[in-house]
A and B are shown apart, each in its own frame.
Chain A
Amino acid sequence: MFGHPSIPLSSCYAPFVAATASPPKLRTPRHAAIVRVTHWITVLCFFALLITGGEIVISHPRFYWGEVGNVMTRPLFTIPIPSSRDTVPTGYHYVMPDQNGWSRALHFEAAWVVMIAGLAYALYGLFTGHFRRNLLPEKGDRSWSSFRRVFAKSFHRAPPGEPGAHAYNVLQRTAYIAVIFVLFPLVIWTGLAMSPAFTAAAPWSVILLGGRQTARTLHFFISWLLLLFVIVHVTMIVLAGFKIRMRAMITGRVVEPPPARRKTDRR
C-alpha cells in the first residue's frame, strides 16, 4: 500500500484488499469478524481468570512439586502474602477475606467461555488458512537472521501506516503462534490436571505432568507467561499507535493516515 511494492498484497489480513490506490482507499479490512469477537471474549475471560486465579492462590499461597503438598510438607516456594485461610502458616497475623466461592465459579465459567471461543477461532483459523497465511512465519522468514533483523528494526519506532499495519513480522507471528498453540493448550491441560473427576477419567493427563501439585505450579507459571505476553502485546500496540490498532480490532478496519514521510533516516 502507498508505494510499498515490496509488500505483497497477499500478506494483508483480508483477502480482498482493493488493488487500486487512486484515489487512496482509506479503509482496508484488517481483522475478520470472528477474530475480533473471539479476541475480545478472550480479553474479558483472561482478566476474569487472572483475578479469580489470584484469589484462589491466596487461599494457599504455597507451591509444591510432585503429587502431594500441604502445610505439613516442604513447599517448592511460597508467595510472601497473608492467606485467606487461618490454617496456612504464612507468618502474618492477618487472614485475608475469603473470596474462593465466587472466584472458583467465575474461574470455571470463564474457562468454558474462552474454551468455546478458542475452539471457534481455531476451527476458523484452520479452515480459512488464517493460521497459515497470517500467523505462521513466512517461508523466507524462518531463520534466526530474520528474528535478528526484526529485533534490530523494532528499536526504531515505525510510524503508523508502515507496512507493519498489514502483516505481522516473524517475531509477532512467533509470539502469537506460541501463545495460541503452546501456552493456551498448556494452561488448559494443567488446569484440567487438577480436576479429580477429569483425572479419574484421564489419569495420563496428570501422570505425564508429574503429579497434581506439579500441574498446579505449572498452571501458576504459565499464567505469568500469559500475563507477560499481554503486557508486551499492549505495550507494542501503544507504541505502534493505540487508536489505529484498537479501531482495527474493534471495527475490523484500518484507517490509513497519509503516508508518513520520514524526516530523517534514523539509520
Chain B
Amino acid sequence: MTPITRRQLIATGLTATAGAAGLAAAAHFARRYGLIPPDHGGLYGPGETLTYAAQRLLASHAPAREFPRSMISKAPFANEVAPPSDAFKRHQATGFSDWRLIVDGMVANPASLSLSDLRSLPFRSQITEVACEEGWSYIAEWIGTPLSEVLSAVGVLPHARYIVYRSIQTDWWDSLDMADALHPYTYLTWGMNDGDLPVGFGGPLRMRVPRQLGYKSIKYITNLTATDNIKAFGKGLGSASPEGGYAWYAGI
C-alpha cells in the first residue's frame, strides 16, 4: 500500500464535501419540484425516488402512446380480480343510475356527480395500451371525461398536490400527482370500443392512467379527493399499492 499523500487527502476531502453538498442540493431541488414520491422510505425508497424523479423530469408532459384503430385487441383480457360486492350488484341491477362520483377535499365546489353529469362534460377518446405489471397487455379504445375537466368543473384549488381516488371495492384506492391528474390522457372512463365500459373492464367508471401500469387504472371509481397532504390517507404511502409491497408510482 502506498501511503496517502497530502494532495490525495485534500482531493478526497474536497470530493466528499462536494458530494455531500451535491446530495443536499439534489434533495432540496427534488422536494421543491415534487420529485419525491410518497413511498420514498425504506430499503427500496431510493430506487422508487430515482425512477419517479427521472420520469417526471423526462416525461411529465409527454402524450401516451396511441395506436391505430386496426391494432385494437380483438379479445382483450378483463383480469377480473374480485367478485363484485353486494353494494356493486345493487348498482348493477339498476343500470348504475344511482352511481355517484363524490368529489371533495381541496376544491371550490364539492360535488356529487351522476354518470350522466360526467357525460355532459367534454369527453374524449384514446386508443391506448393497458400494460399489466405481470407482463401482459392489450389495446383498446377508451372513451371518458378527462380528469382535468372534472377538476376544473369543481374548481380544484391551486395548492392541491394529489388527487386521491377510491373504488367501491374499499381496499382499492390510489392517488395521482397533479402532473398525471391534469394530464390530457388521464380519463374517468365510461366507454370502451364504441360501447359502454363493461363491468369486467371497470364499468361503469374506471380511472384510466395510460402512462402508468394497469394497476394504477383502478376500476369502479366512487370518490375523488383533492389534497395537499397525502400522509393523511391510509398509511401515508400514497395508495394501497405500497401497503401491499408495490410502488405508488407505476411508470415502469
Using a CB–CB cutoff of 8 Å, the interface residues on chain A facing chain B are 56-57, 59-60, 62, 64, 67-73, 85, 87-88, 100-102, 104-106, 108-112, 192, 194-201, 203, 206, 212-213, 216
Contact = CB atoms under 8 A, between A and B. Distances in A.
B134 A201 contact: no
A196 B51 contact: no
B79 interface: yes
Interface in B30-74: 43-44, 46-48, 50-51, 55, 58-59, 62-65, 67, 71, 73
Contacts of B58: 197-198, 201
Nearest to A75: B136
A14 to B, nearest CB: 13
B136 A67 contact: no
A199 B247 contact: no
Contacts of A206: 65
Interface residues of B, number: 42
Given A59-B135, A60-B136, A197-B252, A67 B75 contact: no
| A-B residue pairs, 3 tightest by C-beta | A101-B245, A109-B47, A197-B251
Contacts of A196: 64-65, 129, 131, 210-213, 250-252
A105 B251 contact: no
A64 B137 CA distance: 10
B135 A56 contact: yes
B252 A195 contact: yes
B77 interface: yes
Contacts of A212: 129, 131, 137
A110 B59 CA distance: 22
B77 to A, nearest CB: 4
Contacts of B43: 105, 109
